[in-house]
Structure 1
Amino acid sequence: MEHPEDVSIVRLDGGQVPEFDWAAGPFASLTRTPDETSIVCLTAAVPAGVRTEGPFRVVEVAGPLSFGSVGVVAEVVEPLVDADISVLAFSTFDTDWVLVPAGQTDEAATAWRRAGLIITPTSLTGGSS
């Protein structure tokens, strides 16, 4: 499912965990390492003065997925690689997520359809769009 809201990737210094009023949702993902903290959240919620990349659009792989599933991310990412579209993929407990540059969502959808994948629109903020 393709979500129409723009998201961005924010980079903070290593180990830093922000107040989550701006990164709480309806879609947010936090990854922390000793060297950096990365947050994916709605672009509109990103505070001024932080390092950011984007905007991206979120594509949700229909789930929940079994942890024993093999090749799901590869099946979704390979058509984008073949179409020369940059992608960031990550997983949550129930599903896989793909971030595509906001300006290339039509190209990505075309690549996925050519590969036999079905893309449906939905909203992160609730309901179908």
Structure 2
Amino acid sequence: MRLVLLEMELAVCRLGPEEEVPIWAVRRTGFFSLTATEDELSLVCVADAVPEGVRCERGWRALKVIGPLDFSLVGILASLSDTLARAQVSIFAVSTFDTDYILFKEAQLAQASTALRQGGHELIRF
């Protein structure tokens, strides 16, 4: 697969299920993803947008699978996650209508890039 590294640092945040979507999380530039369940409101957004005091984990980077990807394709996330798991790289996956994103900690950038290249994936802007 062809993958591109997004330039910004991301944060994964957790808010209560009753909380409103905060305006700071939903920039129209950069990257954000929201998932609301009965248990939580989970946000992935640009790290420098997150105010102090918000429960979050910073230091994430994202790889975008160059798409768009057809919904009938099988095994995209499995291929990437298996390659990274064998290299001991933890991931957080986000999917959109057009493609998939694999997030991993910045500290594992070199480890992730080596594993993905050795796994036959093409890395762009790495």
TM-score relative to the length of structure 1: 0.89
Aligned to 1:11: 14
Structure 2 unpaired stretches of 5+: none
Q: CA RMSD in A?
A: 1.3
Offset at residue 15 of structure 1 (A) = 3.5
Aligned to 2:49: 45
Please say if 1:96 is aligned against 2:100. Answer: yes
Offset at residue 54 of structure 1 (A) = 2.3
Offset at residue 20 of structure 1 (A) = 2.1
| Contact 2:25-2:43 within 8 A present in 1 as well | no
* Selected match of 1:58 from 33, 47, 62: 62
Aligned to 2:30: 26
Partner-residue secondary structure (3-state), 1:16: coil
Structure 1 segments of 4+ aligned residues over 6 angstroms from their partners? none
Please say if 1:119 is aligned against 2:126. Answer: no
AA aligned opposite 1:10 = C
Aligned to 2:89: 85
CA distance in 2, matches of 1:88, 1:59: 11
Question: What is the percentage of aligned positions where both structures have the same residue?
Answer: 37
* Selected match of 1:108 from 100, 107, 112: 112
CA distance in 2, matches of 1:46, 1:3: 18
Aligned to 1:127: none
CA distance in 2, matches of 1:40, 1:34: 18
Structure 1 unpaired stretches of 5+: 123-129
| Contact 1:22-1:47 within 8 A present in 2 as well | no
Offset at residue 82 of structure 1 (A) = 0.1
| Contact 1:88-1:99 within 8 A present in 2 as well | yes
